[in-house]
Amino acid sequence: GRAGLAVGAAGALKLFAWPVALVLIAWAATHRRAGRLAAGALGLPALALLPALLVDRDALVENVLRFPLGHGLVTSPAQSPFPGHLIATTLPGGRVVAAALLVAAGAAIAVRLLRRPPRTATATALICGYGLLAAILLMPTTRFGYLLYPVALLAWAPALTRPAPAPAAP
């Protein structure tokens, strides 16, 4: 439950935590605790978005969906030349192609989670890290600084591995 509240608070502050929350829910399902984790992980961001939804639904869609996908009314001045941005700006219909690649990467991760959910913290961190890396590289509008998120998760993954028990003394 507390982990759900922590990732829910992160999701309320930054969109990059939402995919992490979904992977954590898949991990919690292997331990029969998905409901408790999901309540906080999905509930807190929903509560944070509710006032914006009630005040101006169109602004919420613009800021949460359209702008990050490069379809917003304004463009980000901090675009980095990752594959998603290059595809979106150089190919005919590139924005649609980049968005389709992003959705395909998300679908591949979803299939992986359904077929073989992570059972350890290390596996969870690796899925989150590689998934966020794929998303950052494929998003039409992104920044180099966002690479910090997957790098941090991938760097922590080895530290989350439990050491093997010491052999018994003779």
Q: What is the pLDDT of residues 32-56, one digit of tens each?
A: 778 888 888 888 888 988 998 899 8
Q: Which of 44, 66, 88 is the last residue of a domain?
A: 66
The answer to whether the CB of 88 falls within 8 A of the CB of 95 is yes
pTM of the model: 0.77
Q: Is residue 52 part of a domain?
A: yes
Q: Which of 68, 107, 61, 106 is nearest to 88 (CA)?
A: 68
- Give me the pLDDT at residue 28, please: 84
Chain segment 63-78, per-residue pLDDT in tens: 877 777 667 777 767 6
> 93 lies in which domain range?
78-160
Q: Which of 66, 87, 118 is the last residue of a domain?
A: 66
Q: Are residues 83 and 154 in the same domain?
A: yes
Q: Are residues 14 and 38 in the same domain?
A: yes
Give the dihedral sign, CA 28/48/55/77: negative
Q: Is residue 152 part of a domain?
A: yes
Q: Could you give the 3-state DSSP secondary structure of residue 68?
A: coil
Q: Is residue 71 part of a domain?
A: no
